[in-house]
Amino acid sequence: MTSTTLFTTPPPPSTTSAAPVDKDNLALLIDNSKSTHHLLQIHAALLRRGLHHHPILNFKLQRSYASLGHLHHSVTLFHRTPNPNVFLWTHIINAHAHFDLFHHALSYYSQMLTHPIQPNAFTLSSLLKACTLHPARAVHSHAIKFGLSSHLYVSTGLVDAYARGGDVASAQKLFDAMPERSLVSYTAMLTCYAKHGMLPEARVLFEGMGMKDVVCWNVMIDGYAQHGCPNEALVFFRKMMMMMGGNGNGKVRPNEITVVAVLSSCGQVGALECGKWVHSYVENNGIKVNVRVGTALVDMYCKCGSLEDARKVFDVMEGKDVVAWNSMIMGYGIHGFSDEALQLFHEMCCIGVKPSDITFVAVLTACAHAGLVSKGWEVFDSMKDGYGMEPKVEHYGCMVNLLGRAGRMQEAYDLVRSMEVEPDPVLWGTLLWACRIHSNVSLGEEIAEILVSNGLASSGTYVLLSNMYAAARNWVGVAKVRSMMKGSGVEKEPGCSSIEVKNRVHEFVAGDRRHPRSKDIYSMLEKMNGWLKERHYTPKTDAVLHDIGEQEKEQSLEVHSEKLALAFGLISTSPGAAIKIVKNLRVCLDCHAVMKIMSKISGRKIIMRDRNRFHHFENGSCSCRDYW
């Protein structure tokens, strides 16, 4: 019997005697059904015995159809049920909410009220699962009207709905007024704080919780990872592991969500050792390396400077989607391996994976780092001509970056002026940066004026303009810009370099003496300076953008954060081991030159990730070929 014949009118029950039917067994059979075929057989048996309208069996049948993904069967049964009670109405509302069919769920709720049937706490909590903010407020008023607002399930649902809708104040007010709180309600409020970047509030709530499950830990770890606090995310992960005995053998163990958030944090700070440990944990603890986990691993390895490991994961990943391809292509791009990025893009298109917006950002980034202007234009034009995709501001930004790096300033400026979309501050900043690199002060002043007059100027705007004036020895212009920064309350972002040693990330700023091994670090700096002088290296004092003497400029360059991180790496890692450094700003000319020389002197490979790209220093040269 097919599924379509099940919903026809059944024959009248036989008048002959038959064995009594055990309804409890039938109910148990429905609950234990794991396949649609089995459920259809039971449904047919109910129809033959005239039990298809039995309230309990009918309810269980509808619920099982929905749980097996056959919502249409459940809906058909519901509409053929005479006078459905509140439990059946609640089920059909909950089923539609579960499948993210909110408008249908709300429609059924409205129909229920017209019958009229009064909702219970489970009706409202089911409806709230998929509520947007405006309907949630209406449901809130109904909860008060029907005396259900203080019910734990309803109040928790309201907190969650307000939190998802961005009404943090209402969510917090409801949470504070709850007479009792469950782990779910705590998690809802915790998620609200974390999602909106209110991490101090989230931490206070988290620390005050008695029982914590893996979801709570994930909320905190992911919250810090998503809001630019990767070190704090890693600290929380280590605390989580300590609470579980180090190897995660306790009741709460890291899951896929934990792993993805931690790998993201490792990638942000360049913590390769930690990332490798997480990879090993995944392999040894039964966490499936699906596309999501595999892509997170690829992204982490790329951002931590280990392209070989990234490619190994990428090659064995099954069912790669466009996000996975994008991660690997972008990885090659930011490392400057443009040929590999373009080859991978070609392979992706050949096997039928349709490129996304991010794919073209990745490919154009690879072109920019290699100066492939003609190829960049070809890829950019293919978006519209070959794939029917309108370029977005991010793609125009990539082209401006490509043209600007190549010194084709007028072409870049003309492209911005001809854009069909409104240029954003990032795009203008990219063009301003190109003006700084190519000493085009007049165009730089024009762009800075556009940003300032439209209220779009950031600290980077003022810093780039100031640096242009300083490079031109226009100290009056420098003083003017700094005065503007002070008047606007804008502060320059301080340079910071980090290095991971023995699974711990160490951070340095220029002239830093806070590190416990500061004395040893500065002793190594003196040795480095001696080695550089022996090779007749002349510091590139043009990189110092202050009106001070040459000797002071040299002293300033000696204690840049990159060099402090390198010195610490040389004294803290095994001879011959690669040294990986992460810089939050663009590496300066002098530090770039010193890294090349030090890679030859020390016999070490030095990998540095700055704001723009990776630099692989080896045997006196850099992978960027001094084009960055």
At residue 210, the pLDDT reads 85
Tens of pLDDT, residue by residue over 484-521, are 777 777 677 788 999 999 888 899 999 999 999 999 99
For residue 332, the model assigns a pLDDT of: 95
Give the orientation angle of helix 214-226 with respect to helix 230-243, to 10 degrees: 160
Q: What is the pLDDT of residue 160?
A: 92
pLDDT at 598 over 50: yes
Distance from the Cα of residue 330 to its chain's centroid: 15
Confidence category of residue 15, pLDDT binned at 50, 70, 90: very low
In terms of Cβ atoms closer than 10 Å to its own Cβ (0-12, 13-18, 19+), residue 584 is middle
Q: Is the pLDDT of residue 6 over 80?
A: no
pLDDT of residue 20: 47
Q: Residue 585's Cα: distance from chain center in Å?
A: 21
Mean pLDDT, the chain, as a whole number?
88
Provide the token pair at 624.
Answer: 């960027």
The pLDDT score that the predictor gives to residue 543 is 54
User: 166 in the Ramachandran plot: left (φ > 0), alpha (ψ -120 to 50) or beta?
Assistant: left
Q: What tens digit of pLDDT does each residue of 311-330 get? A: 999 999 999 999 999 999 99
Q: Which two tokens stand for residue 373?
A: 């202007």
The pLDDT assigned to 553 comes to 61
pLDDT at 181 over 80: yes
Mean pLDDT check: name the lowest of 23-37, 241-255, 327-341, 595-609: 241-255
- Which residues is 556 bridged to in the sheet? none
Could you tell me if 127 and 93 are in contact, meaning their C-beta atoms sit under 8 angstroms apart? yes
Q: What is the pLDDT of residue 621?
A: 93
**pLDDT tens sequence across 408-444:** 999 999 999 898 888 888 888 888 888 888 888 888 8
pLDDT over threshold 80, residue 246: no
Residue 223 Cα to chain centre, angstroms: 10
Strands 614-618 and 606-609: antiparallel
Measured over the CA atoms of residue 291, residue 293, residue 299 and residue 305, the dihedral's sign is negative
> Residue 227: is its pLDDT beyond 80?
yes
Is the Cα torsion angle 285, 289, 294, 298 positive or negative in sign?
Answer: positive
- The CA distance from 341 to 326, in Å, is 10
Residue 339: both structure tokens together: 């040929």
Q: What is the pLDDT of residue 248?
A: 47
Q: Are 39 and 69 in contact (CB under 8 A)?
A: no
Res 161: pLDDT: 94
pLDDT surpasses 80 at 72: yes
Flag whether pLDDT at 82 surpasses 80.
yes
Q: Quick check: 50 pLDDT over 90?
A: no
Question: Would the pLDDT of 223 be above 80?
Answer: yes
Mean pLDDT of 366-374: 93
Residue 352 to residue 547: CA distance in whole angstroms: 57
With a cut of 70, say whether residue 273 has pLDDT above it.
yes
> Cβ(19)–Cβ(50) under 8 Å?
no
For residue 593, how many other CB atoms are within 10 A of its CB?
19
Q: Is the pLDDT of residue 187 over 90?
A: yes
Percent of the chain with pLDDT over 70: 93
**Residue 195: pLDDT over 60:** yes
pLDDT, residue 492, reads 72
Which of 60-69, 386-395, 412-421, 458-467 bottoms out in mean pLDDT, i.e. has the lowest?
458-467
* Choice among 124-128, 237-241, 304-308, 455-459 with the minimum mean pLDDT: 455-459
Q: Are strands 579-583 and 606-609 parallel, antiparallel or unpaired?
A: parallel
- The region of weakest confidence among 122-126, 136-140, 463-467 is 463-467
pLDDT tens readout for residues 527-545: 999 999 999 988 877 655 5
- In this predicted structure, the answer to whether residue 22 has a pLDDT above a threshold of 80 is no
Check if the beta carbon of residue 275 is closer than 8 Å to that of residue 300. yes
Answer for the pair 305, 610: CB distance below 8 angstroms, yes or no: no
Cα gap 20→10, rounded to integer Å: 19
SS (H, E, C) 581-605: EEECCCCCHHHHHHHHHHHHHHCCC
The sheet carrying 504-508 orders its strands as: 504-508, 497-501, 579-583, 606-609, 614-618, 621-622
Written as one letter, the residue type at 165 is G
